[in-house]
Chain A
Amino acid sequence: MIRIIVSPDVIDSASEMARVEAGESGAVATFTGLVRRDDGVDQLELEHYPGATEAALMALAEEAVVRWSLGDATIIHRVGPMRPGERIVFVAAGAPHRAAALAACAFLIDRLKTDAPFWKRETRGDQPRWVEPRAADDDAAARWTAD
């Protein structure tokens, strides 16, 4: 089952993981992304492109389901303002065996970073700043198309 959610609500990763574990998969891999506490950011705000975001995430999930024969693919992405330590993104992949689950989970988060229309704006004190893309993210996403 594919589950895509883009919402300002707090991400309940425990219940999302339980949902995937309740499926037929023998192996579940998950990734949780948090707002970093370590670089002085007071608030992080996520902007997105409604409609296009969900479509991009659905396309990624569908690709992963086919490529790794997944029983479950979950992508939950928070939008709007959030604080350090809060969850931004949760990804889960349920597969027959661990190698497929781990690879699919990595694929989903790597490609999400380059293929889905989200933009981060950090605020330190009263200074907002749009986050610049990282070349390492492009490299991480590209490895899934290299073979």
Chain B
Amino acid sequence: MKLRLVYFAWVRERIGRGEEEVDPPAALASVADLVDWLATSRGEGYATAFAERDRLRAAVDQRFVPMTASIIGAREIAIFPPVTGG
């Protein structure tokens, strides 16, 4: 399952890139599962970016979702801090 990941603001800075394509294990069901997998398998930048889970927000295929949302069949997952526009 090829998945496009996009990161914004300090999540992007800590990871060191704004986007990438990954092929996560099929067992991952939710955004939270994906975050856990990234934090533990892809190096220090990811672990730092995802250290405070309650400060993370997500979108699946460009729609805001809770971290418990399914990623099954998703094409693009975005992970970012709480928004601060306006």
Contact = CB atoms under 8 A, between A and B. Distances in A.
B62 A118 contact: no
A3 interface: no
A130 B59 CA distance: 20
Contacts of A121: 9
Interface in B2-18: 6, 8-10
Interface string B32-66: 00000000000000000000000000010011100
B25 interface: no
A119 B86 contact: no
Nearest to B13: A130
A84 interface: no
A113 interface: yes
Given A49-B80, A55-B62, A117-B80, A130 B86 contact: no
Contacts of B8: 47-49, 117, 119
Contacts of A52: 59, 62-63, 78
B83 A133 contact: yes
Given A55-B62, A115-B64, A49 B85 contact: no
Nearest to A91: B86
Interface size range of chain B in the complex: 10 to 19
B84 A131 contact: yes
Given A51-B62, A55-B62, A117 B10 contact: no
Nearest to B59: A52
A88 B86 CA distance: 7
A117 B64 CA distance: 9
Given A49-B6, A52-B62, A118 B81 contact: no
5 contacts: A113-B83, A117-B64, A117-B78, A118-B84, A137-B86
The 6 residue pairs across chains A and B that have the minimum distance between CB atoms: A118-B85, A119-B9, A52-B62, A113-B86, A133-B82, A131-B84
Given A49-B6, A119-B9, 16 more contacts: A33-B86, A47-B8, A49-B62, A49-B78, A49-B80, A52-B62, A112-B85, A115-B83, A117-B8, A117-B83, A118-B86, A119-B81, A119-B83, A130-B81, A132-B84, A133-B84
Interface of B: 6, 8-10, 59, 62-64, 78, 80-86
